[in-house]
Amino acid sequence: MTVRVAVAGASGYAGGEVLRLLLGHPGVEIGALTAHSSAGRKLGGVQPHLWPLADRVLEATGAAALSGHDVVFLALPHGQSAAVAEQLGGQTLVIDCGADFRLVDPGQWERFYGTPHAGTWPYGLPELPGGREALRGAKRIAVPGCYPTAVSLALAPAYAHGLIEPEAVVVAASGTSGAGKALKPHLLASEVMGGMSPYGVGGVHRHTPEMVQNLSAAAGGPVTVSFTPTLAPMPRGILATCSARTKPHAGYRELREAYGKAYAGEPFVRLLPEGQWPATGAVAGSNAVHLQVAYDEDAGRAVVVCALDNLTKGTAGGAVQSMNLALGLPEETGLTCVGLAP
């Protein structure tokens, strides 16, 4: 039995990555592909790496094209998913790769996006406590942001085991695909290559409340996150360095045990052997997350470094993993933990 899948936003990076993964997924048939400004063009001219779909014509995003599918992935700019989702029946599995349905607190949504809150959907991060249960049989899924995926997986075990204080500090480097295909001067190759820069530091980043939401749930109480994202000269990947003061009873052994336990048996999250550090290159194109934990005794802090591919586990891979759970397929179908290196 195959399910019929449509992708809205097929011309962008997230939509393209969903399609790349679906092309290797044995249980799906790829249906409508839609876009906004590229509607009417062949996909091959926009996404030349997706050769088997090169002659498919992009349709305009909307119910006309998207209805009649078993699954619809939305890879749209923030704020546009609700209107599309409403037009799709309740029996369609709708998976939103955007931010619209991630936050529980309407006030936080309005603070950062300035529009009315669209609602809250089951959250597509199976590795969090209770994460898988929320997704089985779901008909609506909010795919986590790429930064929150990295940070939540990096710090949730330490919070769940009560090993660190509630004030976390995160500095993360992201590849440029995380910023999408928008034609903005700071995303030009000439500007990006050969340099690093922060972005969105000036106040609090839009992704912070999602991290706070996940980590507060893990900690069972309020957590704050000081988050600084930076743009790195690479197309893909997130390297998140996360730290917090350890509680008095917590040292290296307790940290290592907590992470070992939290991710034992997880198909996509790996605590690296001692002495080995995560590198985004090792997870490129894969759904894998590599983690390492250190204890800085001088500063009294736990430091957790996490590497993942922002487009795969951070977006499209996480979305496919959640789809598998919602449809009752084996969770790993169509996904790999093997990276493309070098």
- Residue from the set 34, 61, 92, 176 that interacts with its own copies by CB under 8 A: 176
Distance in Å, CB of 198 to its own copies, minimum: 5
In this complex, which beta carbon is closest to its own copies, that of residue 83 or of residue 303?
303
User: Does 4 contact its own copies by CB under 8 A?
Assistant: no
Question: Which residues, 55 to 114, sit near its own copies by CB under 8 A?
Answer: none
- Residue from the set 191, 257, 266, 332 that interacts with its own copies by CB under 8 A: 191
Distance in Å, CB of 192 to its own copies, minimum: 4
CA–CA distance, 89 with 69 (Å, rounded to integer) = 10
What does the block give as tokens for 215?
């980590």
Catalytic residue among 146, 242, 306, 337, which? 146
Question: Closest Cα to residue 294, out of 248, 258, 255, 240?
Answer: 255
Q: Choose one: 84-92, 135-143, 319-327, 334-342; the region binding its own copies (CB under 8 A).
A: 334-342
User: Does 167 contact its own copies by CB under 8 A?
Assistant: yes
In this complex, which beta carbon is closest to its own copies, that of residue 316 or of residue 327?
316
Judge whether 12 and 180 are in contact, CB under 8 Å.
yes
Going 328 to 334 to 338 to 342, the CA torsion angle's sign is: negative
In this complex, which beta carbon is closest to its own copies, that of residue 25 or of residue 140?
25
- 169 DSSP 8-state letter: E
Helix axes 13-22, 317-327, angle to 10 degrees: 50
Question: Which residues, 216 to 275, sit near its own copies by CB under 8 A?
Answer: 224-226, 228, 230, 232-237, 239, 241, 243, 245, 270, 272-273, 275
- Residue position matching structure tokens 């336990």: 261
Judge whether 96 and 120 are in contact, CB under 8 Å.
no
CA–CA distance, 119 with 195 (Å, rounded to integer) = 39
In this complex, which beta carbon is closest to its own copies, that of residue 11 or of residue 92?
11
CA–CA distance, 111 with 107 (Å, rounded to integer) = 6
In this complex, which beta carbon is closest to its own copies, that of residue 82 or of residue 211?
211
Judge whether 172 and 150 are in contact, CB under 8 Å.
yes
- Residue from the set 57, 60, 64, 193 that interacts with its own copies by CB under 8 A: 193
* Binding-residue pattern over the window 15 to 54 for its own copies, x denoting contact by CB under 8 A: -x---x--xx-------------------xx-xxxxxx--
Question: Which residues, 282 to 321, sit near its own copies by CB under 8 A?
Answer: 282-286, 288, 290, 292, 294, 296-301, 303, 305, 307
User: Does 148 contact its own copies by CB under 8 A?
Assistant: no
**Other CB atoms within 10 A of residue 282 CB:** 20
Question: Residue 146 catalytic?
Answer: yes
Give the three-state DSSP class for 259: helix
- 99 DSSP 8-state letter: S
Catalytic residues: 146
